[in-house]
Amino acid sequence: MPDSGHARLITLVRADRRLRAIPLTTEEEGVALAVGAWLGGERSVLLMQSSGAGNCINMLGMANECRVPLLALVTMRGQWGEFNPWQVPMSRATAPSLAAIGMVVQAVDRAGEVGESVAAAARLAFSTSRMIAVLISQRVVGAKEFK
Amino acid sequence: MKHNLPSLDRRRVAADILRQRGNALVVAGLGAPVWDTAAAGDHALNFYTWGGMGGAAMIGLGLALAQPARRVLVITGDGELLMGLGSLATIAVQRPRNLAVIVMDNERYGETGMQDTHTRFGVDLAGIAKAAGFRAAGTVYSAAELKSWIPRFHRHAGPLFCDIKVTTQAAPMVLPMREGPVLKNRFREALLGPSEASVPNS
Ligand SMILES: Cc1ncc(C[n+]2csc(CCOP(=O)(O)OP(=O)(O)O)c2C)c(N)n1
Ligand SMILES: [Mg+2]
């Protein structure tokens, strides 16, 4: 489920024949998709904006119970320099609610650290069969301009 | 709107479909569809969901894309499917040729006390699947119609969608194993081999 912070990544995925971009109608579809893909022997990465974290909670409970490795790259809104007040509540609930359902939550605040943080999170997820959310700060992706 | 009275017995439906499963991979939606699937015979390539309501069809999509040479059957309830209707659109966009989504439609939330679901009021799940872009979609009321669909589940190009109208008659519970890691590892071992069963090397 795209956020503007994922735009370039999605374009790169679409251009790479080894990868497949699967658009969703809601984020929890991606959690169930990841469970099926893992049962079938494939890895997946879930891309979402922080507003989508709450949509996933019960489905994440399934991935947690089944110890399905899950890597989510969550771009934060409602945080650093936000303009839209409606983004703030879910933004503030993102880390606690993902942690409450059993995800390991790792925040990244600097652009220079995103690459190595995602690589480390992927290793943790797929080597230890755990759910990891990398929260990429709005400071990294930039506040959206409404004009 | 055509609305015949459902007459099919869900246990017989599940048994008839799964008798010819071959090496198909089966995902069962939570509640009675799990009991139906288990009653037809436990199998390492059954993934029983005990939660994650609304996710069965998407688990099926993930499996179908990961294993394009295998048939994937999702057997779920009308309530479970209604919770993830958007997944029909997502599946249609991916067009997996090896996926069939089969709904045991008793027009009720059976598990929670037989409350009416939207299908009881005429919401046409097959029509929604067809409009989303499934290659074939239909509603089954009779044993004869089911008989014509079963070979399609196993052989025809998907994605296929079939809404099977079943009675509200409750069948005895047949409870399969329910520990997530055990179900997952058993499935992966049967499909991918022992080395992949638990944590693979990366
Ligand atoms: C997210 C969520 N909401 C509600 C429930 C409670 N619940 C469990 S099974 C079920 C009904 C399932 O109905 P259906 O899929 O039609 O299956 P049936 O028992 O009728 O065959 C409900 C509402 C749940 N487990 N999870
Ligand atoms: Mg039902």
Q: How many of the other CB atoms lie within 10 Å of CB of A86?
A: 11
Domain range summary for chain A, segments of one domain joined by +:
4-141
Choose from A14, A26, A35, A58 for mutation: most chain B CBs within 10 A. Answer: A35
Q: pLDDT digit string (tens) for A92-147?
A: 999 999 999 999 999 999 999 999 999 999 999 999 999 999 999 999 988 777 77
Domains of chain B (ranges plus CATH)? 10-193 (3.40.50.970)
DSSP letters of chain B? ---PPP-B-HHHHHHHHHTT-TT-EEEE-TTHHHHHHHHT---TTEEE-SS-TT-HHHHHHHHHHH-TTS-EEEEEEHHHHHTTTHHHHHHHHH--TTEEEEEEE-SEEGGGT-EE-GGGGT--HHHHHHHHT-SEEEEE-SHHHHHHHHHHHHHS-S-EEEEEEB--PPPPP------HHHHHHHHHHHHH-GGGSSS---
Q: Options 3.10.20.30, 3.30.390.30, 3.40.50.970, 3.40.50.150; which CATH number does A4-141 get?
A: 3.40.50.970
pLDDT band per the 50, 70, 90 thresholds, residue B3: low
More confident residue, B198 or A5: A5
Mean pLDDT of B163-186: 95
Contact B93 A23 (CB under 8 A): yes
Alpha carbon A19 to its chain's center: 17
Q: How far is the CA of B114 from the centre of ligand 2 (A)?
A: 8
CB of B36 closer than 6 A to ligand 1? Answer: no
pTM over 0.80: yes
Q: pLDDT digit string (tens) for B73-124?
A: 999 999 999 999 999 999 999 999 999 999 999 999 999 999 999 999 999 9
How long a stretch of residues is chain B?
A: 202
| A20 contacts chain B (CB < 8 A) | yes
CB of B110 closer than 6 A to ligand 1? Answer: yes
H-state helical runs in chain A: 7-15, 27-39, 57-65, 88-100, 111-128, 138-141
Contact B61 A36 (CB under 8 A): yes
Token look-up 């993102």 returns A94
Is the reported ipTM for this assembly greater than 0.90? yes
Testing ligand 1's pocket by substitution, the residue of B112, B120, B169, B178 carrying the most ligand atoms inside 8 A of its CB is: B112
Residue A147, classed as helix, strand or coil, is coil
pLDDT band per the 50, 70, 90 thresholds, residue B200: low
| C-alpha to C-alpha distance for A110 and A140, rounded to whole angstroms | 6
The radius of gyration of chain B from alpha carbons, rounded to an integer in Å, stands at 16
